[in-house]
Amino acid sequence: MTLEFFQAYWWLIVAVLGGILVFLLFVQGGQSMLLDAGSDKRRDLIVNSMGSKWELTFTTLVVFGGAMFASFPLFYSTSFGGAYWLWICILFSFIVQAVSYEFRRKKGNIYGTGTYDAFLFINGCVGCILLGVAVSMFFFGGSFTVSRGSLLDGTAPVVSHWDNPSHGFEAIFNWKNLILGIAVLFLARMQACLYMMNNIVDDPDFFVRLKVKALLNGGIFVLFFLWFLAMLLTADGYTVISDGFRTTEVEVTPFKYFHNFVDIWQTAVMLLLGVVLVLYGWGRSVFTKKYTKGIWYTGIGTFLVVVALFCVAGFNDTPFYPSITDPSSSLTISNASSSEFTLRTMSYVSILVPFVVAYIAYVWYSMDKKKLSPESLEKSEHKY
Amino acid sequence: MNDLTTVVDWSRWQFALTAIYHWLFVPLTLGLSVLVAIMESLYLKTKSEKWLMATKFWMRLFGINFAIGVATGIILEFEFGTNWSNYSWFVGDIFGAPLAIEGILAFFMESTFVAVMFFGWNKVSPRFHLASTWLTAIGASISALWILVANAWMQYPVGMEFDPAQMRNVMDNFWDLFSGIAVNKFFHAVFSGWALAGVFVIGVSCWFLWKKRNQDFALLSIKSAAWFGLAGLLLTMYTGDGSAVEVTKHQPMKLAAMEGLYHGTEGQGFTAFAILNPDKDWNNDEDEYIFEIAIPRMLSILGRHDANAFIPGVTDIIEGRDIINGDTVNTVSYAERIERGKMAQAALRNYDIALEKGDSVAMNVAKADLQKNFQYFGYGYFDDVKEAIPPIGVTFWTFRIMCYLGGYFLLFFVVILILVYRTRLMERATWIQWIAMASVPLMWVCSEAGWAVAEVGRQPWTVQDLLPTKAAISEIPASSVIVTFWLFALVFTVLLVAEVSIMCRQISKESKKNLSSNKA
């Protein structure tokens, strides 16, 4: 197996982690509904329904970051050190999330339940939008230059330079990035509704309320996602030819991502299948009376769509992190990756991933067998 | 970059702040998770309500602490990118792997089973629940293993080679990462967590005794925690000795800083107490200490397990002087290291130019020059040998604080164990209850001091001898780092205050319940 194989393999793992992460963002979606929950009891139901899963989302984000660091360190160095404020804002939103579940109803929490619920709300909204912005930059790029020779510059020995002085704020307020950010937020909210319809029982009014919310949020998501998809399919992109870790040629290709879907037909199939599954899960949940399993269809659909998007972002000589200011600095899975030895070593560890997925699935099944109800929450020894 | 120094300093402060806060919570997680798992195992074996109540009580406190540890942990990982971008590129090929493996193997295990631990009492079978509690504890320790392997690599970079074409280091032997430093560091950190959890449980239980609430529960917890903590502390000391040997071998400058030692001798004494002379510099004739109490030959014994071995001081190291088997041996002085480091960097520059031109002959010449001097590559970023000396005062004092408190806690556990088996004495002796309560924050001071020795003593290097902090940073404005430093400081402090407050209220609330029987 060659270096190229391992680069592709690790980009696929990153794509899979990205897909799982976007699915699990339903936790953030649920949090974004806390301020209009209707009553304190409903708010507690939402928090406790999401509460047994929040660490899984959090962990997936951390592992996504770790996998990026290990397999594509030049991305880590360029994006995190460059779009500083984008990542710092994401981090802050997740710091306040991590404590809020455990602290919100504990006596002595000083700042009151409302403060921690506000933290959860902030994480729910800001986390989703900014992660969407960060992923959107995989297509619409950032302003950076990579110069390995700078390592030897005694006065500024930094390889990756961010060319925009806003250091990430410009990416946050770029409308193209925000389109995907908003789409991710409403997808997460829609999936949160579907998850709670599946996870919470014995509260028919809440079920109806969730259904209405799923309809609205799903509708907004579809609009923004189609807008993003239209932009993506009509966008120009770079084609980068690399010789090992060095870029030798860059050219602008009209309709680059459309061509990628055509050239790698499997991604087009995944995208279409994913979209169909999301629409089916959403539609059936919203338009039938008692259907509760929509989350699994939308979840699998979301996963497939995200994996397809990552694939067209990184394969077919496409830079997964295009530079607006210096196209030759654009990062590809060839020029930004770790060495063959490292990728191969980590690949051995990745064999354990199915085992990890299996025990997560088993625990999920065991824990969700008994559904959450207002009554069971009342009796629960450990509740958020 | 006009504000390079400011960015470096504030980035260091920010990372130090995050690491200090993170380490407030992690050792308790490491220790308490194992202790709780032991208690739950005893419950399942004996079916005794007292063990169930103890398990649930300490698990609740574990939960409060766990969340904030997770919150501070995510920052550390991402700060390598946000604030140490050059580091991420230069050594990411090696350093990133343990972090990714930590995520796959440990984080998922921890986060999946901790949910069962908290929410699964009535949802899964007792055996499944116990397995989940153990897997949470094991996951926490596996997580520590990988992060400490990564940290140890920064202290002693091995298992890699430099690729001039990519201008970065690449891994060539994964198993080398499990060096003696890594193994000692892992066990030292994990066992210190056991000791810390032991002191915490004893301190809280003594508050119960002082308040005369749930005394049976308190005594049971004290007995468990004292044995657990003592075992942890003894193992911490044993692995600490291993760490001292490794530091002597691979980071002699750090050892010299830990001792405030400038001129070493054969059969070097260990400074038990001293007042450092602030006017002392590596190249002047001032005395090292204003006042000193030393234990003869002890440093040689600790560092090299040989009472007559030579331990070099700061000046010896800078001037390149060592004594092996009684003979003075000249090693490479720091002035020469700087010179050869600059030669290595010049060779790399030439290699890059030759590569651009496709001149393979020039590439080979440059590569040969680079390989000859690469060992000192990092020194090429310095202009003065003084830049390569770690902060002596901080390293010296944090090492002493750790040692003094380590000795104190050994005595503490022994005394507690003697008293706790004389039940009435333990219940009545309010003085020991107060000492135990006051010892809780001291244990954190001890633990943090240990980290300060390890990290401050490594300065000015991010990766020992390879990459100084000033070449490891991101190109961001100093103002941005200053703002985020204060934001982190504010948020962490606000959350810490809340955590301590919740913990105190929870302990107080629970103490009023009957913790001997579930039926209460």
In the structure, what pLDDT confidence band is assigned to residue A39 with cuts at 50, 70 and 90?
Answer: confident
pLDDT score recorded for residue B518 = 53
DSSP string, A202-256: S-HHHHHHHHHHHHHHHHHHHHHHHHHHHHHHH--EEEEEEETTEEEEEEEETTH
Question: Which of A7, A9, A102 best probes binding to B when mutated, by most B CB atoms within 10 angstroms?
Answer: A102
Cα dihedral B359, B360, B366, B372, rounded to 10, equals: 180
Interface contact flag, A87 B82, Cβ < 8 Å: yes
Tell me if residue B322 falls in helix, strand or coil: strand
Query: Cis peptide before B391, with omega less than 30 degrees from 0?
Result: no
Checking if the pLDDT of A222 tops 70, the result is yes
Contact B216, B50 (CB under 8 A): yes
Which stretch of A257-261, A367-371, B373-377 has the lowest confidence by average pLDDT? A367-371
What average pLDDT score do residues A116-141 get?
Answer: 95
pLDDT tens for each residue of B44-92 = 999 999 999 999 999 999 999 988 888 888 888 899 999 999 999 999 9
3-state secondary structure B13-40: HHHHHHHHHHHHHHHHHHHHHHHHHHHH
What average pLDDT score do residues A79-92 get?
Answer: 94
Residue B476 sits at the chain A interface (C-beta within 8 Å): yes
Interface contact flag, B474 A84, Cβ < 8 Å: yes
Which among B4, B72, B78 has CB closest to A65?
B78
The count of other CB atoms within 10 Å of the CB of residue A335 is: 23
Question: Which of A341, A357, A377, A379 best probes binding to B when mutated, by most B CB atoms within 10 angstroms?
Answer: A341
User: Which residues of chain B make contact with A73, given a CB cutoff of 8 A?
Assistant: 88-89, 92-93, 96
Question: Which of A50, A77, A120, A343 best probes binding to B when mutated, by most B CB atoms within 10 angstroms?
Answer: A77
- Considering chain A, what percentage of its residues have pLDDT values greater than 90? 75
pLDDT tens for each residue of A40-74 = 889 999 999 998 888 889 989 988 999 999 999 99
pTM for this structure? 0.92
Nearest chain B residue to A61 by CA: give it: B74
Chain A (43-62) residues lying within 8 Å, Cβ to Cβ, of chain B: 52-53, 55-56, 58-59, 61-62
Which among B121, B471, B509 has CB closest to A157?
B471
Say which CATH topology domain A3-140+169-342 has.
Formate dehydrogenase/DMSO reductase fold (1.20.1630)
The count of other CB atoms within 10 Å of the CB of residue A80 is: 28
pLDDT tens for each residue of B221-248 = 999 999 999 999 999 999 999 999 999 9
pLDDT tens for each residue of B285-325 = 888 899 999 999 999 999 999 999 999 999 999 998 887 66
Closest CA to A169 of A77, A87, A94, A78: A87
Q: How far apart are CA B337 and CA B349, in angstroms?
A: 18
What average pLDDT score do residues A325-336 get?
Answer: 92
Nearest chain B residue to A56 by CA: give it: B111
Residue A199 sits at the chain B interface (C-beta within 8 Å): no
Question: Which of A80, A97, A130, A243 best probes binding to B when mutated, by most B CB atoms within 10 angstroms?
Answer: A80
Contact B93, A163 (CB under 8 A): no
Contact A71, A338 (CB under 8 A): yes
Helix (H) or strand (E) segment spanning residue A112: none
CA distances A171 to A146, A178, A341, B70, B194, Å, are 18, 9, 34, 28, 45
Cα torsion B340, B346, B347, B352: sign: positive
Nearest chain A residue to B97 by CA: give it: A70
**Top mean-pLDDT range of A31-40, A153-162, A169-178, A347-356:** A169-178
Checking if the pLDDT of B517 tops 70, the result is no
pLDDT tens for each residue of B326-360 = 677 778 999 999 999 999 999 999 999 999 888 99
Residue B333 sits at the chain A interface (C-beta within 8 Å): no
The count of other CB atoms within 10 Å of the CB of residue B360 is: 10
Interface contact flag, B89 A73, Cβ < 8 Å: yes
How close A251 gets to chain B, by Cα (Å)? 20
Domain ranges in chain A? 3-140+169-342
In the structure, what pLDDT confidence band is assigned to residue B1 with cuts at 50, 70 and 90?
Answer: very low
Half-sphere exposure of B514 (CA within 13 A, CB side): 6
In the structure, what pLDDT confidence band is assigned to residue B120 with cuts at 50, 70 and 90?
Answer: confident
How close A228 gets to chain B, by Cα (Å)? 28
Interface contact flag, A110 B501, Cβ < 8 Å: yes
A and B: number of Cβ contacts within 8 A: 294
Checking if the pLDDT of B419 tops 80, the result is yes
In the structure, what pLDDT confidence band is assigned to residue A227 with cuts at 50, 70 and 90?
Answer: very high
CA distances B191 to B29, B194, B234, B236, Å, are 12, 5, 8, 5
Helix then strand then coil, % of chain A, to nearest 5: 70, 5, 20
Average pLDDT over all residues of chain B: 92
Segments of B164-269 assigned E as strands: 168-171
Q: How far apart are CA A235 and CA A249, in angstroms?
A: 20
Interface contact flag, B476 A167, Cβ < 8 Å: yes
Checking if the pLDDT of B133 tops 90, the result is yes
pLDDT score recorded for residue B520 = 39
Interface contact flag, A111 B88, Cβ < 8 Å: no
User: Which residues of chain A make contact with B109, given a CB cutoff of 8 A?
Assistant: 356, 359
Which among A71, A95, A245 has CB closest to B71?
A95
Residue B74 sits at the chain A interface (C-beta within 8 Å): yes
Question: Which of B36, B95, B108, B169 best probes binding to A when mutated, by most A CB atoms within 10 angstroms?
Answer: B108
Residue B77 sits at the chain A interface (C-beta within 8 Å): yes
pLDDT tens for each residue of B361-386 = 999 999 999 999 999 999 999 999 99
pLDDT score recorded for residue B325 = 67
Closest CA to A192 of A99, A129, A285, A60: A285
Cα torsion B280, B283, B285, B288: sign: positive
Chain A (221-260) residues lying within 8 Å, Cβ to Cβ, of chain B: 244-246
Residue B110 sits at the chain A interface (C-beta within 8 Å): yes
Contact A105, A61 (CB under 8 A): no
Predicted ipTM of the assembly: 0.91
How close B180 gets to chain A, by Cα (Å)? 21
pLDDT score recorded for residue B72 = 86
Chain A (342-381) residues lying within 8 Å, Cβ to Cβ, of chain B: 342, 345-346, 349-350, 352-353, 356, 359-360, 363, 366-367, 369-370, 380-381
Q: What angle do CA B505, B510, B516 make, to 5 degrees?
A: 165
- In chain A, DSSP finds a helix count (H) and a strand count (E) of 18, 4
Instruction: For A359, list phi and psi in degrees, rounded to 5.
Output: -70, -30
Nearest chain B residue to A346 by CA: give it: B97
Question: Which of A27, A122, A338 best probes binding to B when mutated, by most B CB atoms within 10 angstroms?
Answer: A338
